Structure 1
């Protein structure tokens, strides 16, 4: 499978294009580009002919993005090949876009990425594949405040109703979102479904399907209720008499595509919307900004969420023309997940805002709950905008704006900022203060301060340059850099780095997200006079597991630590017995002798010169636990260190090294005299000859374009097993992400079996995909009913003349766990390049340094770690999973899980793990019994 990029890649994809595609053009999974031709350029027929000639196929959809292009304005078309999903990596998509732009003479060509810059926080962190960023750090624990109108009271909406009994009547508010579901809170809401649109399934009806595959089913129902829930329900919307026009433009808040959002904005304007509320966000695009500017010229108010869980303000809120809304709580402090910065105009409640709650088709239709996110701050603001327009009369508002030579958008922004409530100690980065509906409505139109004209919002970067400053420090905007061509990709990289924990100071300076820049951006950045661009683009893409620090430091968490440390403090008690230790007994065992026992692993590491950890500091923390038990007030760093100590006990990660045998042969081996092996020491002394005979050699590091992506192991002649999510980093499934017909290599992929993972003599080219789990894994949380497995064909003899190592025997006995629960993992852990965060979402550079001292790992090389089977997961269709406790980090994806007994068969394929939690592996015996494609390949 040759590696392809740019237009050759697109032409290859088009070979798989269907004769027709019955899906909506804006289906979230479709491969899609927005093509913008210069004003007066080609019409649709002429552009179609040029595309067909360029691609050698006419099997694609092409239609104008906007219903009525304006004269003397570039015209944007939506282009989507038939039957193809978006499965190429982002840099490949931008490479295709760059070549289309050049060949067709386009103003801009932007791919829809399905960007994951905007997320709604969740109360519980889902398990994730290594490299997946956790979003529960944004969730504030607690219960929603009473009364249920508290958010309306904080924004003085109830007082505004008394001034304006119309409560938004006659004002049309469009809401691009996931759609709406039937709910009691909408019993007396005024909808105009005749103006609605469904861009996902097609047609007009914007019904939210509440599908389990959506990360936020019911999102549009929740935001719609905050905006316009009637007065007869259990809660109230900000504008209960406004007319709500839902537009189903996204299927998932977490997956943002710019083209359907731009289409939704244009549709809202065409049906006469007065306000557009956008509780969503992602990266910019030419078409998105074009749609916003068109709407502003039509006297529409547009408000957008600043963003959640990423820090930086996302688009469209980041556009200077937009009104960006940040989030606060009942104490007028910043909600911990709110994006913040100069782009935020003002704030509104975003923490435990009461909203309609219906997330499943069979869920009750009258549920309400406290939601978190700038989504709800935005919906509140949109409702208040409707109150403002209704109170003054939209005709008078437009006349006032026209007389001043500004837009209604600018007039509303200025009025809100002028009247915002700014309590003492109001946090920086959230604009003028908290929106105050009563003061806003009380302000006469002529008394509104001078509003900035539209020319003041000109920014060639579209809000990207301020984000660069936030992430990389001060710089100078390069006037020659082509933002139309490269801005969306720059924004995508900046946002990805922000989510990984990058910052301009401290340890965050070295953080890089798991992203690679396209060749076009790399070249443009290298030529730019702004060094921040080069710093952003000229880098590799190391895997970066995101570390979530468990929180809070409460009695339950301390009780668990006391159980484990109590077991570790008592000679003869195995770590597995920790669950039976009473926390009070664990507390009692942490006397001076017990603490010495707990600290033995670190003492041994110090003696070996492996690290310079402060034992006195840890001993002081243990002493405090001994004295105070579950009421101890430990700082998070100390507690994390103690939890790491627990996981370190009898679970070392031993480097695989070369050893010379008595016969003079060089074999890969481990140090079985390591004092940290504990209960595994004797077993590994016996097993070492067999480990050296093959299993240690048969595990290799998988690289794409020379960059570490994961681990794989030999399972048959010319066959290597790894995870499908590793495969997805260097190959694309075609034509669809699920059940593809074939795989297209998009990066040069290799597997290196040396201990260093960097020896050309032991490097083999990966040639093609022999098998892959049928369902897409990339960018999604772990789902235990998916088979995260791939089997690759590898050259049997490499360029150095070395034959592929002897394969593992892949276990076929499903009863293996009943005979021997000891196991081992061999893989290539990657450095924790994401900066950890605490339960408030704050970056913790200190913790990552302390963990490095505790573990002392030299990353990206081969490690062996013993452990035990924990629990078997439910055996659901397609995926059979068990948990294990061997030490793993990101980069271990695709590692072999071997049975530490018999002939050391491969019993599992490691595919995921959570920091200081369980690790997850597919049970290979169960998989091969249930999956014909796997069974046919394995000996």
Structure 2
């Protein structure tokens, strides 16, 4: 039995974090997927975990239960690293994978950080390895966050929503999301209007919506502020071909003016950026950096509860463990930093060459999130559509001709990135 992709990625990230910690480097500076980097010892990994967890606010936690959760993580981390140091190709157990995933989020390797008042708290211990980038991109992240909204039923909540979108045209009121998010809200809505009408030579269908669906451009943790905008229509590309990636997972939402009369946020442009996608014309493989910050990304969206961590795995309730460590609030606006680590056109089953892989910590509600080049202008060069946590995360890149053609069908303007 081979080693699962998510295990290979987790082990790579553990190596990179150890290398960065020992050399005082930021995480994105260790971007080469180098299998020769040494594996850390368990004590180093667990010491970083303890430091990060102990620095988080403690008044919301039961200290005894939190210690029990940390003891479980320690137990499975020690057994996992012991196995890996004997043979890095040894398949790990489900509990060992869950323990290492928790560490990657908590020690700042691949965190999922709350956005509040339009900003990430750069002083949060989980943000430490990314602090320089977070400070440098504060204004840019603020614009991205403002343009990112939660797609939901009217009056929806962090427990009742369809996915994520982001605004690309504030004048016309246009936002981009995933095709499967658009299809989900159409299935769930009780207030659909007329049947779909052909658009753009029959290659897309426009569905008019009377009411019942909105985008909330606020939806931050711990805030009662809302910025709801009614969704008046959904434009979906027609299914093309067969196979997992045969149809581009993209759709357009048309929006009414804000319900409270406030202006829409500033839009974020979509850009054709072959270098950030890690395409063949980049001249590099995997998630290697070109020296300009290309490859370093952020995802902004609304992470849902992790389905694969619900329930019990071999006697361990990982949802309970996550609650003790992170006091998770799901369905609210978050930023997840990461790297492009699988180049466009290298994903199995991607015959169109329009999918790349990234390793940011995302969950189900992130569907429709932009993949932003936060060190290179803040444009969106990709659209996240599948994957969770340290498993394979997939995004559509916009540089390939097939992708550009679909976006033309949907009337989505696409600019060229500066090289």
Query: Is 2:53 the partner of 1:602?
Result: yes
- Three-state SS of the structure 1 residue aligned to 2:319 is helix
* Alignment equivalent of 2:212, drawn from 748, 759, 763: 748
- Three-state SS of the structure 2 residue aligned to 1:729 is helix
Query: Is 2:168 the partner of 1:715?
Result: yes
Query: Is 2:125 the partner of 1:684?
Result: no
* Alignment equivalent of 1:731, drawn from 169, 186, 193: 186
Query: Is 2:236 the partner of 1:772?
Result: yes
Residue 151 (structure 2) aligns with: 702
Shift of 1:618: 3.1
Residue 829 (structure 1) aligns with: 303
- Three-state SS of the structure 1 residue aligned to 2:365 is coil
- Three-state SS of the structure 2 residue aligned to 1:726 is helix
Shift of 1:834: 6.6
- Three-state SS of the structure 1 residue aligned to 2:337 is strand
Shift of 1:848: 2.3
Q: CA–CA distance in 2 between the matches of 1:915 and 1:729?
A: 22
* Alignment equivalent of 1:783, drawn from 219, 241, 244: 244
Residue 192 (structure 2) aligns with: none
* Alignment equivalent of 2:259, drawn from 799, 808, 812: 799
Residue 440 (structure 1) aligns with: none
Contact 2:210–2:232 (CA<8 Å) still a contact in 1?
A: no
Alignment of 1:528-677 (within 5 A): 564-570=13-19, 571-572=21-22, 574=27, 576=31, 579-581=34-36, 585-586=38-39, 589-590=40-41, 592-593=43-44, 595-597=46-48, 599-605=50-56, 612-613=66-67, 614-625=69-80, 629-630=85-86, 636-648=94-106, 649-658=108-117, 668-677=118-127
- Three-state SS of the structure 1 residue aligned to 2:74 is helix
Residue 857 (structure 1) aligns with: 328
Task: Give the structure-1-normalised TM-score.
Answer: 0.35
Q: Which blocks of at least 5 consecutive residues in structure 2 are unaligned?
A: 188-194, 283-291, 415-419
Structure 1 residues 844-879: Cα deviation after superposition (integer angstroms, max 9, x where no partner): 671222233344320111111111111123296767
Residue 911 (structure 1) aligns with: 385
Which one has a bigger Cα radius of gyration? Answer: 1
Structure 1 residues 680-730: Cα deviation after superposition (integer angstroms, max 9, x where no partner): 2112101102322x2111101001353301111101121011011011112
Shift of 1:761: 4.9
Q: CA–CA distance in 2 between the matches of 1:762 and 1:882?
A: 32
Q: Which has the higher strand share?
A: 2
- Three-state SS of the structure 2 residue aligned to 1:922 is strand
Q: CA–CA distance in 2 between the matches of 1:835 and 1:932?
A: 35
What is the CA RMSD across the aligned residues, in angstroms?
Answer: 3.9
- Three-state SS of the structure 1 residue aligned to 2:146 is coil
Q: CA–CA distance in 1 between the matches of 2:413 and 2:12?
A: 43
Residue 235 (structure 1) aligns with: none
- Three-state SS of the structure 2 residue aligned to 1:891 is helix
Task: Give the structure-2-normalised TM-score.
Answer: 0.73
Structure 1 residues 726-784: Cα deviation after superposition (integer angstroms, max 9, x where no partner): 11112267489x94544254872100001338968510011113x3222189xx9x812
Query: Is 2:332 the partner of 1:872?
Result: no
Contact 1:563–1:581 (CA<8 Å) still a contact in 2?
A: no
The 1:855–1:924 alpha-carbon spacing in structure 2 relative to 1, beyond 3 Å, is farther
Q: CA–CA distance in 1 between the matches of 2:61 and 2:33?
A: 27
Residue 270 (structure 2) aligns with: 810
Shift of 1:832: 3.2
The 1:566–1:598 alpha-carbon spacing in structure 2 relative to 1, beyond 3 Å, is farther
Q: Which blocks of at least 5 consecutive residues in structure 1 are unaligned?
A: 1-140, 143-549, 659-667
The 1:855–1:774 alpha-carbon spacing in structure 2 relative to 1, beyond 3 Å, is farther
Residue 223 (structure 1) aligns with: none
Q: CA–CA distance in 2 between the matches of 1:935 and 1:725?
A: 15
Q: CA–CA distance in 2 between the matches of 1:748 and 1:731?
A: 10
Shift of 1:881: 1.4
- State the aligned residue count: 365
Alignment of 1:117-516 (within 5 A): none
Residue 284 (structure 1) aligns with: none
Q: CA–CA distance in 1 between the matches of 2:46 and 2:338?
A: 24
Q: CA–CA distance in 2 between the matches of 1:567 and 1:847?
A: 25
Residue 406 (structure 2) aligns with: 931
Q: CA–CA distance in 1 between the matches of 2:15 and 2:407?
A: 47
Q: CA–CA distance in 1 between the matches of 2:308 and 2:45?
A: 34
The 1:581–1:688 alpha-carbon spacing in structure 2 relative to 1, beyond 3 Å, is same
Q: CA–CA distance in 2 between the matches of 1:710 and 1:557?
A: 23
Shift of 1:938: 2.2
